[in-house]
Amino acid sequence: MEKNEFVKSEIGSEAAWRGFSTQTLYIAKRLLTAEDDEQLYPEQVEDLMIMRKGKIKELVQVKNLSDDLSLSDLSPKKNDSFFRRCLKFKKSEKICLKIVSFGNIGPELQNMLKEKEKRKSSIYNKLLSYGYNENDTLWLLNHLEIEEISESEIEKSIKETMKEYVEIVAYNLVKDNLIYYIYKLSSEKGYTSKKCWEEKVSNIAKDLMAIDSIQRQYQRTIIPLYDYKSNKTSEELLNDYRMGINASPDHIRSGCDLRRGRWLNEIRDRFLKNNIVLIKGASGQGKTTLAYRYLIDNYPELNIMCIQRVTSEDQAIDILSVLRGLNARKDIVVYIDVEPYDIQWLWICEKALELAKDIKILISIREEDFQRSSIDYSKHNFEEISIEFSKDEAIELYEMYPNTTYLSFDNAWKSFGENGPLMEYIFMLNESRTLADRIKAQIENIVNHEEEADSWLESLMIISLAGIHNNSVSVNGLFQKVQCKQKLKMIKHFEKEYFVKVTQNSTYVESLHVLRARIIYNILMEMGIFNKEDILINTLEIIEHNATQMLIEYVYEVGMTQELVGRIAKIRCLSIEIYADILKALLWCEIYYYFKINRKVIEEGDILFNKQFMFLGNTDITGLLQIDLLHDISKVFNEVNPHFEEQMTELLNKLPLLKLEYKFLDAGKSNGPNFDDPYYIEMFDFEHSADEDRYIAIGKVGDVLFVVEEEKKSPINFDEDCGELSPAMMKAFKSAVVQRNRKKKA
């Protein structure tokens, strides 16, 4: 299939048009500024017809052209032209025939408008030559008005007008409802008035129960799909997509993707069974691309609400409040592309059918994050689709991307290894080599030609390790850790080679895709010249979230030592979230060490007690409860096995370690930060933190305080007035505090 055959579907094109057409914007402006007794009829006779007291007041045609507006743009020669249609209303003496131009008005039309004696204009003579009679021509020109306007002017006018009577409802939300309202009127050939619209605004305000939530979340964490646009050309988008960067809506609009019919039909069929459909799969399998393709093919982009990173239950509640307000539209759809380690998506699923029962939700999530989530199918009701890259799709892609390297599909498929991610296969077909081979060659080029190759590659390792765990890296923070003289040159080179992208006003840099990041990191590590522990520590010091899994993966592969704990404890964390993540990882290390030490006895006990040895015998490895439940449990099981308690006690006595030692946590705390330091006082100051920072921190603060307060020998006082905590967090933290205080008093 040739490149020019990649065109988006008619449905997708229509959806993009519906999203934000200038015609709809203009009609919205006219509706907000209409007289009380005027009725507006979009797409009836003309783009807009305005009536007053039963008579036609205006006929409006909207033009949005790149060139200057000229007479020929109105197609006056055609029998069904704007002028011919207007002549049908010639008896209406007070009618206004209006042309609205989103662009410049050509000189010939401008001269006609200035000319008081219309017979002297060249337009008059041209219309006569096109077959219009003299009376009709004079009537048309005397009633014709042409208005030149810009999109920004209309936006400003809409915003200013809305302020007069929409004060408590979020502006962007009401504006989007206004645009959608007009679109529906246009498609259904209906009419409206200023009064009708004001009643609709009133209903919106009544339906939305949490206005503050809307103002916090709408177009911050809930963004309509049509807002996701770039300035890149189709060629640039296609090249980016083939190089394996994260998919965006623009890639789908430009037809860069493979239309995966089997999976698209599967999503459609699953939505017939449930309003929540989840797509899961390994990184690089095309989950996000597939989701965007389904959404753009089946919904107007104005109706597709994309949810950004969810960091707390409170934020999830706000999001659901917004969705509940949009619920009346029926044809709304929500898309959640779950970020690594995000678990709040489950809470949204749980409450969505209760608070927004008519809204469809499409979710895409990495397989490892899905497995990590605590799914309770009694609460979390959704359809699951596990996607994988198949041989049939590989054949289709081979035919789509002609190349001379692989003379047959079998040759290409064997070179690919007959298994792997979709993203890598697409790259191989276009680049005639695997992604790993390409990256190796790029790195070799840096080594051979760049004087500061070592510092460049160390920087790339840090960025890639952060990228594996969905982190961006502060540019300033990076260069505090790595000495580099040619900073700008290095970053520009990395961008050019598709290693990284620069975000947030050039202050942060991040990997293009988690799969690419892992390949780069592994290749650099295989070179054997970088210290893995140094890279880990430097990365932990300049990231802002998702440190737990990063540290756990390192420990699982390399192991944990007191020296490493000491280095970690001295890290000056950028956020409270990182501090809490490190504590979580250290807790995991305690448990991992416990099971490694006791593994032989545990395996022996599981054989004897049907894999229930730890569950029945050592019910609390933390040492927190200080309650021996074995005797009570034995009363139940001794009836089945008279030797139950004796056998269990014997095995427990064989355990090298009965309870967690907390040696890693103790080392971390003894070498850790001084919380009287103004740096940490400010970090824990939630009252004056930005909202988004507080959302992140509150979800972690219970873990942090629980461990930090261990240093203090007085009971923890729980503040009942702490309204910052969500109900679930309050309950969990209060329970932990009560148990901890009991232990201290014992």
- Can you give the C-alpha Rg of the chain in angstroms? 33
Share above pLDDT 90 across residues of the chain, in percent, rounded to a whole number: 27
Least confident of 343-347, 473-477, 713-717: 713-717
CA distance 372 to 560: 23
255-272 average pLDDT score: 90
Predicted pLDDT of residue 615: 83
pLDDT grade for 527, boundaries at 50, 70 and 90: very high
Token pair in block for residue 71: 């007479």
- Above 80 in pLDDT, residue 665? no
CA distance 55 to 280: 58
Least confident of 88-92, 213-217, 423-427, 441-445: 213-217
User: Which class does domain 222-383 fall in?
Assistant: alpha beta
Predicted pLDDT of residue 289: 92
Same topology between domain 222-383 and domain 436-543 = no
133-154 average pLDDT score: 91
Q: How far apart are the first and last CA of the chain?
A: 76
Higher per-residue confidence, 744 vs 556: 556
16-27 average pLDDT score: 64
Residues 414-438: pLDDT tens digits?
888 888 888 888 888 877 778 888 8
User: Which class does domain 436-543 fall in?
Assistant: mainly alpha
Residues 377-412: pLDDT tens digits?
777 788 999 998 889 888 988 887 767 678 889 988
Predicted pLDDT of residue 36: 86
Share above pLDDT 70 across residues of the chain, in percent, rounded to a whole number: 78
Residues 216-233: pLDDT tens digits?
555 567 778 877 888 888
428-456 average pLDDT score: 88
Predicted pLDDT of residue 40: 92
**Residue whose entry in the numeric block shows the structure tokens 């890296």:** 473
Which class for 244: exposed (0-12), middle (13-18), buried (19 or more C-beta within 10 A)? buried
- Above 80 in pLDDT, residue 167? no
Least confident of 130-144, 159-173, 539-553: 159-173
Residues 583-594: pLDDT tens digits?
888 888 888 888
Which residue type is seen at 74?
A: L
Predicted pLDDT of residue 344: 73
Residues 679-715: pLDDT tens digits?
555 555 544 444 444 444 444 544 444 444 443 334 4
516-534 average pLDDT score: 93
Q: Where do the domains of the chain lie?
A: 14-205, 222-383, 392-433, 436-543, 544-746
Predicted pLDDT of residue 137: 92
CA distance 435 to 427: 6
- Above 70 in pLDDT, residue 642? yes
The candidate with the shortest Cα–Cα distance to 559, out of 592, 531, 534, is 592
**b/e for 137-149, b at 16 or more Cβ within 10 A?**
bebbbebbebeeb
- Above 50 in pLDDT, residue 168? no
Predicted pLDDT of residue 12: 37
Could you tell me if 276 and 353 are in contact, meaning their C-beta atoms sit under 8 angstroms apart? yes
- Above 90 in pLDDT, residue 268? yes
